[in-house]
Amino acid sequence: MSTSPVPDVQPATPATGETPLVSVGVLGARGRMGTEVCRAVDAAEDLELVAMVDERDWLFNVADAGAQVVVDFTRPDSVMDNIRFCIDQNIHCVVGTTGFDEQRLATIAEWLEPKPDLGVLIAPNFGIGAVLLMRFAQEAARFFPSVEIVELHHPNKVDAPSGTAARTARLVAAARRAAGVPAAPDATRESDSLPGARGADVEGVPVHAVRLAGLVAHQEVLMGAAGETLTLRHDSYDRASFMPGVLLAVREIGHRPGLTVGIESLLGL
Amino acid sequence: MSTSPVPDVQPATPATGETPLVSVGVLGARGRMGTEVCRAVDAAEDLELVAMVDERDWLFNVADAGAQVVVDFTRPDSVMDNIRFCIDQNIHCVVGTTGFDEQRLATIAEWLEPKPDLGVLIAPNFGIGAVLLMRFAQEAARFFPSVEIVELHHPNKVDAPSGTAARTARLVAAARRAAGVPAAPDATRESDSLPGARGADVEGVPVHAVRLAGLVAHQEVLMGAAGETLTLRHDSYDRASFMPGVLLAVREIGHRPGLTVGIESLLGL
Amino acid sequence: MSTSPVPDVQPATPATGETPLVSVGVLGARGRMGTEVCRAVDAAEDLELVAMVDERDWLFNVADAGAQVVVDFTRPDSVMDNIRFCIDQNIHCVVGTTGFDEQRLATIAEWLEPKPDLGVLIAPNFGIGAVLLMRFAQEAARFFPSVEIVELHHPNKVDAPSGTAARTARLVAAARRAAGVPAAPDATRESDSLPGARGADVEGVPVHAVRLAGLVAHQEVLMGAAGETLTLRHDSYDRASFMPGVLLAVREIGHRPGLTVGIESLLGL
Amino acid sequence: MSTSPVPDVQPATPATGETPLVSVGVLGARGRMGTEVCRAVDAAEDLELVAMVDERDWLFNVADAGAQVVVDFTRPDSVMDNIRFCIDQNIHCVVGTTGFDEQRLATIAEWLEPKPDLGVLIAPNFGIGAVLLMRFAQEAARFFPSVEIVELHHPNKVDAPSGTAARTARLVAAARRAAGVPAAPDATRESDSLPGARGADVEGVPVHAVRLAGLVAHQEVLMGAAGETLTLRHDSYDRASFMPGVLLAVREIGHRPGLTVGIESLLGL
């Protein structure tokens, strides 16, 4: 692949003082996340925003503009077409759109096979704090008999619990199973309880969802053992908090050929 | 006051240097709360522990020992007999036993009618911090569109939510109704949610119950409006936290003839 | 009072279906708070934004535009002239500018003497949650041997502790003195401590100031007694949180002649 | 290894149904921690408490009783003699006594040289939650421009900040230096601040110490980046919380020849 049209997006330390900029195109550029991405790419000295594409724009614009990396925050029903197009055009993809299952991931991996230098990163969450919280919760899980999750969001949220909280619960539950931790102690008697008081059951981990005017997006993992508790809390006040993770992915994807799920590996976790 | 059958329990500032001690009997003296009460009364300089009575002891002991005030932490099925006995013997009562309803309270008030100087105080919670939290939550309720409660306890607790949390929710709900606050905003769609995620519904106030090894007894009232939240949290680490409220009631009951419910009025709230 | 030159700003429930709007002028209209105030007044159905004035604009504009109430978020060095002007023009004032001391307040009270119907409200904080927190902290102070304050803000803040935290500390300290609460227990030995570890001393109340990227404005009052703690926390995520307090003041000031300090009395606290 | 004078303390899965108990001696057995250790060892099915030694007892008792492992919670001025004795007697040591510096550790390592099978573990903190918190804080440090620590303890504590908080700060500071993280943003102006408000400076990390009646031992590490914060909190309510770490060390020390500092490696961190 010495003739590879796939550029190395990492801005190598320039020997002669010049820094090659990475050209970035944004799909879903007028959406809430896309708008933030455009702003963040524009503000980064080592990146150049070369194309902003939204629903009624030509997808070819990103290729015409010479984008080396595309960031996709669109919709589940269009994201697969976008990825297919980018792979055909030898453009790396950083994808924050939701709706991926095993089958979709397998399809993308297949598309990538003939292009060994090309990278696609799919991340359910670009918040570095949120990803760290999940990782720490998994690591700590085996040391604590009890674990519960409380997530707190603004009242316009339609799902409960949040996707991040549900995912954290599943990861923690898996870590507990792997370590042979028995079910958490709980003497609650149904006859003395109100329905819902003990939260939603996600693979044995109770998850509580608070919806409150004034809040943004917050998550707490509480773990307890005899005489002590460990609480991990992430507060997200602003979509800006996802941008360091997105930019990190944009800068790293040229060095990560193949399909990558989540930003954990980029963080060295 | 020589003809009064009801002693004034308040240790008046002594004119001659001597402090008249208040004589206290404890019913349920070997229970978990009773044991703490005995210890606290014993340690108080202005109180004298004159009788410790438990299930198989003679109730007459408290009268024989000259108790001016009785503290009752027994059981719902014996507390009414105890109170009846104390009223007959002209002994003031401070009662922490649970299980009182409107009918029981009316009965006690009736018993007290012929004894205008005698006082009975029934309190569902002697924790000053817990009582303050309830009061503040009621006062703040009308200023916030959203309110939810999270209570956290050790995993041996059988009821969920806790009685204190349920009571706080009802008080807050009543304050909201009185002020005409509409239902809290909540876009949660059942189709996107897991059962229980949004907690138990107590008169429109969601209450979430966490059970965790290592915890003792904790309660948080969260209130939210555009751009801000107010959180009131009470942590109870030890039964010792109820003793200042119990002792306050013991000292004050001689000045509070008739039936008093809750320690709020003693706190000047 | 038919000859009064001072209009009643309260939008009385209209008998005939018409609602008299209150005319509002904003001084410091292009500042961060002023911008929010203009937006909030504009969005309120019972208020009309008639003048937006900033540094290089004519102050007479607010009078010419017929403002009944002026909201002032300007600077300490101009606010006294603004208030003097408004009083001369029979315009009520709602003032959020800082820098008031006893002498300034006395001067304003003097200016108001010949105008018995005119109202000026000076508030160091229009956040209803923040004001409630201060009030609750004062009420609870006498029940707890220990009290400390932790305030947390974005790292661009130049003062430490925040004005609100310092004011809360002084109010709590006064409440403790009034109730005869002795100094909080503290075994800290200087020889075993690092300078600053125990925070700033504000009339005997330790105040700790955290500065952290990502934060906005947060304050916690922690109170402790044997076996229990009570924590009051206010989180302000957005300047929008001050607007309900500002609008309340604009609507009420016509009914509050003379000088009012703080929004507490408007909240019925 | 049949000639080894050093017994393997790990209770190997017994081939024939019998479980060899590990014999444990406790030094400082009547102290607050020692008492808890005796209770915990006694309650553990795979351990046998063979000697309880305190200040005026003969140290030889632990050898006479056949202790394979000694747990030492004594005092800085006696712990070195105790360790020397145990090494001479081929007894593994688990040490929670404070006061170790580089020189003391070097001395112990030297003593251990002729005994390649013998293990000594010195841990400043046996709380698994506290150790996890420190580890997570170190791992997360490089991702956040800001970090501060708030520790909260009962008012009888003489040092401020706590040893654990100071150690956490130093570990976090080292991780930041290693990753090239610049000083945290902080616009605080001395002229607008009170002394102590910004806490103690531990290698650039502000540490705040709260002392409050009712509290036990609590620590919070707050990390912030644009639009988000990550908070790690450990609450220790009871000395019981240190026992799982002590027992883990007792069970593992037979497999960890040489000098081990901290329980991190035993936790697989």
pLDDT in tens, B3-58: 444 444 444 444 455 568 999 999 999 999 999 999 999 999 999 999 999 988 88
What confidence score (pLDDT) does residue C18 get?
Answer: 58
Q: Are B74 and B107 found together in one domain? A: yes
Percent of chain A with pLDDT over 90: 86
pLDDT of C19: 64
For residue B56, what pLDDT is reported?
85
| Residues A203, A256 within the same domain | no
B29: left (phi over 0), alpha (psi -120 to 50) or beta: alpha
Does the pLDDT value for residue D3 go beyond 60?
no
CA pair distance D247, D71, nearest whole angstrom: 10
Start-to-end CA span in chain D (Å): 29
The answer to whether the annotation marks D125 as part of a ligand binding site is: yes
Least confident of A12-16, B138-142, C234-238: A12-16
Q: Do A241 and C214 make contact, defined as CB atoms within 8 angstroms? A: yes
Within a domain: residue D189? no
Asked if C235 reaches chain A (Cβ–Cβ under 8 Å), the answer is yes
3 state DSSP class of A206:
strand
Confidence of residue A11 (pLDDT cuts 50, 70, 90): very low
* Closest residue on chain B to C144 (Cα): B129
Chain A residue at shortest CA distance from C234 = A214
Average pLDDT over residues A126-141: 95
Q: Indicate the pLDDT class of residue D98, thresholds 50, 70 and 90.
A: confident
3-state secondary structure of C218: strand
Residue C7 clears pLDDT 50, i.e. is over it: no
Query: What are the phi and psi torsion angles at B187 (to 5°)?
Result: -90, 5
D216–B237 CB contact, under 8 Å:
yes
CB C25 within 8 A of CB C91: yes
Q: Please tell me what DSSP assigns to residue A10.
A: S
Check whether A240 is labelled as a binding-site residue: no
Cα B43 versus chain centre, distance: 21
**What confidence tens digit (pLDDT) does each residue in A142-160 have?**
999 999 999 999 999 999 9
Could you say which of C187, C196, C226 has the minimum Cβ distance to residue D156?
Answer: C187
State yes or no: pLDDT of A9 exceeds 60: no
Distances B51 to A45, B60, B247, D54, D162 between C-alpha atoms, Å: 80, 10, 16, 39, 44
Report the mean per-residue pLDDT for chain A.
Answer: 92
Q: Residue B215's domain spans which residues? A: 128-184+198-237
Which D residues 153-192 touch C at CB under 8 Å?
A: 155-161, 166, 184-189, 192
How much is the pLDDT for A19?
A: 64
Instruction: Output the CA–CA distances (angstroms, integers) from residue A94 to A22, A164, A260, D206, D248, in the order listed.
Output: 13, 19, 9, 37, 44
Average pLDDT over residues C104-130: 96
Residue C240, chain A, CB below 8 Å: the answer is no
Active-site entry in C92, C153, C218, C234? C153
Residues in B closer than 8 angstroms to C269, CB to CB, are 139
A218/D contact by beta carbon, under 8 A:
no
Tokens of A126: 């670009």
Region class of C17: left (phi > 0), else alpha (psi between -120 and 50), else beta: left
Catalytic residue among A153, A208, A218, A234: A153
- C190 CB-near residues (< 8 Å, 6+ apart): none
**SS3 state at C95:** strand
Mark whether D168 and D82 lie in a shared domain: no
- Per-residue confidence band for A15, with pLDDT thresholds at 50, 70 and 90: very low
B146 belongs to a structural domain: yes
Distance from CA of D8 to the nearest CA of A (A): 25
For residues B116 and B148, membership in a common domain is answered with no
Residues D46 and D100 placed together within one structural domain of the fold: yes
Kindly list the residues from chain C whose CB atom is less than 8 angstroms away from the CB atom of residue D168.
none
Does residue A86 have a pLDDT over 60?
yes
Q: How many domains does chain D have?
A: 2
Q: How many CB pairs below 8 A link A and D?
A: 117
Return the pLDDT at D5: 43
Q: What is the pTM of this model?
A: 0.87
Q: Does the annotation count B234 as an active-site position?
A: no
| C32 belongs to a structural domain | yes
The answer, for B14 touching chain D at a CB cutoff of 8 Å, is no
Q: Which of B133, B226, B240 sits opposite C241 (nearest CB)?
A: B226
- Higher confidence at residue A7 or residue C195? C195
Q: What is the pLDDT of residue A23?
A: 97
The band of A18, judged by pLDDT with boundaries at 50, 70 and 90, is low
> What confidence score (pLDDT) does residue A268 get?
84
What pLDDT does D2 receive?
39
pLDDT band at B239 (very low <50, low <70, confident <90, very high): confident
Mean pLDDT across chain D, nearest whole number? Answer: 92
Tokens for C258?
């003379």
CB B167 within 8 A of CB B231: no
Q: Are B186 and B135 in contact (CB under 8 A)?
A: no
For residue A2, tell me if it sits in a domain: no
B164 is in an annotated binding site: yes
ipTM of this complex prediction, to 2 decimal places: 0.84
Q: Is D240 on the interface with A (CB under 8 A)?
A: yes
Q: What token pair was written down for B10?
A: 């308040």
With CB atoms and an 8 Å threshold, state whether A235 touches C216: no
Report which of D168, D114, D178, D176 is spatially closest to residue D141, judged by C-alpha positions. Answer: D176
User: Which of B161, B214, B224 is facing A212, going by the closest CB pair?
Assistant: B224
What are the pLDDT digits (tens) for B200-238? Answer: 999 999 999 999 999 999 999 999 999 999 999 999 988
A190 found inside a domain? no
H helix or E strand, kind and range, residue B137: helix B128-141
Mean pLDDT of A235-258: 93
Q: What is d(CA B230, CA B225) in angstroms, rounded to the nearest whole number?
A: 9
C78 and C41 within one domain: yes
With a cut of 90, say whether residue B79 has pLDDT above it: yes
Min CA distance, D43 vs chain B (Å)?
19
The pLDDT-based confidence of A4 (bands split at 50, 70, 90) is very low
Residue B53, token pair as written in the block: 């009575």
Same domain, yes or no: B158 and B112: no
Two tokens, residue A148:
């519960």
Per-residue pLDDT at D238: 86
Starting at the edge strand found earlier in the chain, the sheet holding A92-95 runs A47-53, A22-27, A69-72, A92-95, A119-122, A258-261
CA distance B60 to B65: 8
> What is the distance in angstroms between the Cα of A168 and the nearest Cα belonging to chain B?
15
Residues A159 and A85 reside in one and the same domain: no
By the 8 A CB rule, do B252 and B120 touch?
no
Q: Which chains touch B (3 or more CB pairs under 8 A)?
A: A, C, D
- Min Cα separation C243/chain A (Å): 13
What per-residue confidence (pLDDT) applies to B5? 43
pLDDT value of residue D19: 64
The whole-angstrom separation of Cα B10 and Cα D126 is 49
Instruction: Quote the CA–CA distance of C186 and C182 in Å, as a whole number.
Output: 12
Q: What are phi and psi of B260, to 5 degrees?
A: -120, 135
Does B141 touch chain C if contact means CB atoms closer than 8 Å? no
Residue of A131, A168, A230 to mutate for D, most D C-beta atoms under 10 A: A230
Which member of B92, B115, B157, B218 is catalytic? B157
Which has the closest alpha carbon to B134: B228, B220, B199? B220
Beta bridge partners of C70: C25, C93
How many angstroms away from the CA of D126 is the closest CA of chain C?
22
How far, CA to CA in Å, does C186 sit from each of C149, D157, D160? Answer: 15, 8, 11
D163 within domain boundaries:
yes
- 8 Å CB contact between A182 and B186: no
Preferred mutation among D125, D228, D266, D267 to probe A, highest tally of A CBs within 10 A: D228
Kindly give, in sequence order, each residue whose CB lies less than 8 Å from that of residue C232, ignoring residues fewer than 6 positions away: B136, B230, B231, B232, B233, C133, C136, C137, C140, C220, C221, C223
Predicted pLDDT of residue D20:
80
Does the beta carbon of D241 lie under 8 angstroms from any beta carbon of chain B? Answer: yes
Q: Rounded to whole angstroms, how far apart are CA atoms B138 and B176? A: 8
Question: Are D110 and D160 part of one and the same domain?
Answer: no
pLDDT at D114: 97
pLDDT in tens, B143-184: 999 999 999 999 999 999 999 999 999 999 999 999 999 999
Which residue in B144, B189, B194 is closest to A200 by CB distance? Answer: B194
CATH code assigned at D203? 3.30.360.10
Would you state the pLDDT for residue B138? 97
Instruction: Establish if D16 belongs to a structural domain.
Output: no
Are residues B132 and B146 located together in one domain of the fold? yes
What is the distance between the alpha carbons of residues C216 and C212, in angstroms, rounded to a whole number?
9
pLDDT of residue D11: 45
Minimal CA separation from C44 to chain A, in Å: 19
Token pair belonging to A163 = 């996707």
Subunit contact D139:A269, Cβ cutoff 8 A: yes
Identify the residue with better confidence: B124 or D203.
D203
pLDDT at D240: 86
| C244 interaction partners in chain B (CB closer than 8 Å) | 143, 225-226
- D164 is an annotated ligand-binding site residue: yes
Check whether B92 is labelled as a binding-site residue.
no
Please indicate if any CB of chain A lies within 8 Å of the CB of C216: yes
Do the annotations mark residue B124 as ligand-binding?
Answer: yes
Contact C160 D192 (CB under 8 A): yes
Res C55: pLDDT: 87
Neighboring chain C residues of A235 at a CB cutoff of 8 Å: 214
Domain-located, residue A245: yes
Listed in sequence order, the residues at least 6 apart from C234 whose beta carbon sits closer than 8 Å to its beta carbon are B228, B229, B230, B231, C127, C129, C130, C132, C133, C218, C219, C220
The pLDDT of residue D234? 97
Note whether B87 and B112 are within 8 A (CB).
Answer: yes
User: Residues of B numbered 15-74 whose beta carbons fall under 8 angstroms of chain C's beta carbons: which are they?
Assistant: none
Q: Which residue of C has its CA nearest to D191?
A: C159
The alpha carbon of residue C147 is apart from the nearest alpha carbon of chain B, in Å, by 13
Q: In this structure, what CATH number is given to the domain that contains residue D49?
A: 3.40.50.720
Chain D residues with CB under 8 Å of A226 CB are: 238, 240-241, 243-244
Residue B175 and residue B95 share a domain: no
What was the pLDDT predicted at A8?
A: 44
Q: Which chains sit next to A, with 3 or more Cβ pairs under 8 A?
A: B, C, D
Give the largest Cα separation in chain C, rounded: 75
Identify whether residues D175 and D255 lie together within a single domain. Answer: no
Neighbours of chain C (3+ CB pairs under 8 A): A, B, D
Rounded to a whole number, what is the distance in Å from the CA of C249 to chain D's nearest CA?
A: 29
- Cα–Cα dist A51/A63, whole Å: 9
Name every chain D residue with its beta carbon within 8 A of the beta carbon of C186. Answer: 155, 211
